[in-house]
Amino acid sequence: MNAISPDLTRALSSTGSEAAQALPSSLFGLPEQPAHERVLLAADPLSGLKAIIAVHSTARGPAFGGCRLWTYDSELAALNDALRLSQGMSLKNALADLPFGGGKAVIIKPVGDFDRAALFAAFGRAVQSLAGAYITAEDVGTTTADMRGMQAETSYVSGIPRDGAFGGDPSPKTAYGVFVSIDEGVRRVLGRSSLEGVRVAIQGLGAVGWHLAEYLHVAGAELLVADIDNAKLARAQAQFGARIVDVQQIIAADAEVLAPCALGAALNAHSVPQIRARLIAGAANNQLATAADGDALHARGISYLPDYLVNAGGIISVAREYRGEGSESAVMAEVGRIRERVAELLDRVATQGLTPARAADEWARSKLVKPA
């Protein structure tokens, strides 16, 4: 569950970071990985729907993950996104100890004008056809209104404001999880007792990036920000005293912490050698283009906190909403426990001799079993 600036995503796409994500060599899953349990292609000519629902694993329970509406270069690029994102959801839900497996949906955005309500009604019918094997919620390009509109077609949807009950936009919860991860990382990696005066470079001021900036500013961090939206940058400068950095330069900014909150694959063979930060923790999904890029970060002495560990606040929120559990304070407390998992990961890295990315992957995969 992550909301980013569409304009920033398009701008960063021109740098070639998306090209680092090789197209899938199989329709059934990612290279050198077990096949996904199910990949559904759903089309509806009347609404223009072309959707891919990827169910990676239901070992822990029904697959749970958001729905992305985006413009892709090709149908294969959309499939690749769905496969990568759904696997990430399996790992995210497992590390968060949620009773759900991992899945994700992408809708290829129709060209030109389209009836949004009809599009999401058709998508809701596709979700319903899986009879509960997949539960959806908002993600990049989709909104709480879209999810609410789907309720007439399926009950397998979350991330909806509910009268007298917990629910709604999960982006503040995602941001809070990233914030506590940065705070713990700064203590453990940088040896600083607080975020006061720590320079944090935020790549992307979408819904999550903005909330993260608010948390960091209150904690005393110095912010460097990049986004294509000049009005948003002006607000950040006025509200947070942030320093504006060009979107092409934010990866290499003179900061102690880098928080990628936009594109996937932002950490790749081109960008990794440019990074000056010692700690990376952000909200974007699939930040590493390849596992080798995580190795390269580690070799340079840069501690990367995997995205599916730190950005789990959103799925925790919509999962508790879906199950009718919790309250605002209880869910925030649960999201806050991401800090403990960051500490445990860093302990595992120290004792196992693995990179953070590989240690987290091994840890998460060991939990892809039905909860006791």
| 7-150 and 171-311+340-366: identical CATH topology | yes
Give me the pLDDT at residue 25, please. Answer: 60
The C-alpha angle 340, 60, 137, rounded to 5 degrees, equals 80
29 versus 56: the higher-pLDDT residue is 56
Percentage of the chain beyond pLDDT 70 is 93
Mean of the pLDDT values across residues 125-154? 96
pLDDT in tens, 67-125: 999 999 999 999 999 999 999 999 999 999 999 999 999 999 999 999 999 999 999 99
pLDDT > 60? residue 8: no
326 versus 230: the higher-pLDDT residue is 230
pLDDT > 50? residue 215: yes
CB under 8 Å to 304, separation ≥6 — which residues?
A: 267, 280, 281, 287, 288, 294, 297, 298, 355, 356, 357
Mean of the pLDDT values across residues 220-246? 97
Give the pairing of strands 303-304 and 67-70: unpaired
Provide the whole-model pTM: 0.90
Give the CATH number of domain 171-311+340-366: 3.40.50.720
CB atoms within 10 A of CB 370: 10
Is 92 one of the annotated active-site residues of the chain? no
Mean of the pLDDT values across residues 19-36? 71
Token reading at 362: 């091994």
Give me the pLDDT at residue 24, please. Answer: 63
CB atoms within 10 A of CB 32: 7
pLDDT > 60? residue 9: no
Give me the pLDDT at residue 264, please. Answer: 84
Mention the CATH class of domain 7-150: alpha beta
Strand-pairing partners, residue 279, are 257, 303
Domain assignments of the chain as residue spans, ordered by start:
7-150, 171-311+340-366
14 pLDDT tier (thresholds 50, 70, 90): very low
Mean pLDDT over the full length of the chain: 92
pLDDT > 70? residue 19: no
Give me the pLDDT at residue 34, please. Answer: 84
Helix (H, G, I), strand (E, B) or coil at 107: strand
Dihedral sign from CA coordinates of 153, 126, 124, 159 = positive
Long-range CB contacts (within 8 A, 24+) of 32-35: 33/87
Marked catalytic residue, from 104, 173, 232, 370: 104
